[in-house]
Amino acid sequence: MRKVFLAVVVPLLICVSSLAFSYPDSWENFDPNNLDGARDETIGNTQELLEERGTIECIACHGEQDDEYEGVITTTEIVTETMSAALACLDWEVRGICIWMTCVLVACEFDFSVKVKNFVPELTIQSYDRANGEPWTESQDLNQVSQGDADSSWVTTIISWIEDYNVGNVGIRGGVSTEGSKKQHANLHFKLVDAYGNPAITAFNSLASSVGGYVCEGTTTMFFPYFISNLDSIAWRWDVPEMFYPMSWLPLIQTWDLGNGGTDIYGFETKTNNYGAIYPRHGFMTSQDPLKAAVLSAFRSAHFITRSGEPHLYFSIDEDDEPGYWPPGPLDQDDKDTGQWQMLYPYEEDGCRSFPYSDNESSRRRSQDGSYVWNFWRAFKCCEQEGAILIFHSG
């Protein structure tokens, strides 16, 4: 009853008190094939301001008035797409051998096992524009339970601490593509990002364990919130403290940019198909391409999630080596074993690849509603334990 009350009364009070987020009563659902029509019906001061800046933002496209937006992909669909791409993304290979030793008194026995490598679907990462408009349906409830939704007491308290922050260009409840003025195109995006344990990881691990140690298992927990950008408001919205990192102050040096590698005529590293700077790892991006902004935001989050001790509020998936089990290193765009991506929405990929996308690949992967969902796969090496002590391994 309390959930129903909040779902009905709170949005009603918001609509009454703020014309900036007021929608026509006729908007029970919008037609994704008629975005211009939805845009033209937009009312309120927000639309007027956006038109003055030289852009038209389809507010209705980011969720319904009564906050009953149901998302664009469900857990069942994520599990299905993950397992259907498992053979292609697994990239299984034999890497070497492991030699184990077991000693009893003065006698020692040696056993051998095969060392293999394969990718594991550890995380499901979503990047989206509007608060309370999570594309993964079930994550909306998970964010509320985690105090990660835009209206939670945690998020509103954190934001209220910084009262003088200028949020005129980008809405505090989510991200928009905006312009500085009609003749000055800023192309500024703000993306919200959440990273949860892949809901298919349990099924994947069960399958891996059934083949006798010839497939490595993952260690993430399904549905576990490893990162929710709203909970990380200080670092994700205001760049604190990463705005002071040397990497954030060297815009002309593209070493820390996401793109295809190369060198210029002077021998300095340069990037082609450049998606933007990895540092500072926050939710703001300047890009003419919304897909590039979404890709960069997802990559930034995975970049620190795969590391320990980073200045963000998150749970790391970084692990130490164990006998017979070797997790991958931190995400590095030049090492595919540290992270590959399988798009789930808006385009269903049946395989995995590294960022960035080529121009030909990008065209069919652009979302019409600003929402994107990926699986994040990393390569693990392992061998079946056949003794008490691992004394040698190759590969």
pLDDT value, residue 223: 95
Q: Are residues 260 and 145 in the same domain?
A: yes
Q: What angle do CA 230, 235, 238 make, to 5 degrees?
A: 100
- DSSP state, residue 390: E
pLDDT at 261: 66
Please report the pLDDT score of residue 2 as a whole number: 36
Looking at 68, 99, 125, the residue that finishes a domain is: 68
- Looking at residue 66, its pLDDT comes to 42
Buried b or exposed e, range 177-208, using 16+ CB within 10 angstroms: bbbeeeeeebbbbbbbbbbbbbbbbbbbbeeb
Q: Give the number of domains in the chain.
A: 2
- Whether the link from the prior residue into 251 is cis, omega within 30° of 0, is no
- Asked if residue 98 and residue 64 are part of one domain, the reply reads no
Q: In this structure, are 45 and 122 located in the same domain?
A: no
Both structure tokens of 353? 């690849």
Same domain, residue pair 387 and 288? yes
Chain centre to alpha carbon of residue 200: 16
- Is residue 229 domain-shared with residue 364, that is, in the same domain? yes
Instruction: Write down the pLDDT at residue 361.
Output: 81
Single pTM value for the model: 0.77
Start-to-end CA span in the chain (Å): 58
Q: Residues 166, 21: one domain?
A: no
Q: CA-to-CA distance for 13 and 4, rounded, in angstroms?
A: 14
Same domain, 192 and 323: yes
Low-confidence ranges of the chain (pLDDT < 50): 1-30, 32, 35, 38-39, 41-66, 153, 163-172, 176-178
- In this structure, are 159 and 126 located in the same domain? yes
Q: Do 304 and 190 lie in a common domain?
A: yes
Task: Kindly give, in sequence order, each residue whose CB lies less than 8 Å from that of residue 267, ignoring residues fewer than 6 positions away.
Answer: none
CB 338 within 8 A of CB 306: yes
Q: Which of 68, 87, 110 is the last residue of a domain?
A: 68
> Residue 153 is part of which domain span?
72-393
- Contact, 258 vs 355, CB < 8 A? yes
Q: Are residues 148 and 296 in the same domain?
A: yes
pLDDT at 61: 38
Q: Can you state the percent helix, strand and coil of the chain, rounding each to 5?
A: 30, 25, 45
Residue 252 is encoded by which pair of tokens? 């002309």
Rounded distance, CA 22 to CA 151, Å? 17
Q: Which of 26, 52, 68 is the last residue of a domain?
A: 68
- The answer on 129 and 54 residing in a single domain is no
Which pLDDT belongs to residue 145?
A: 73
Whether residue 76 sits in one domain with residue 60: no
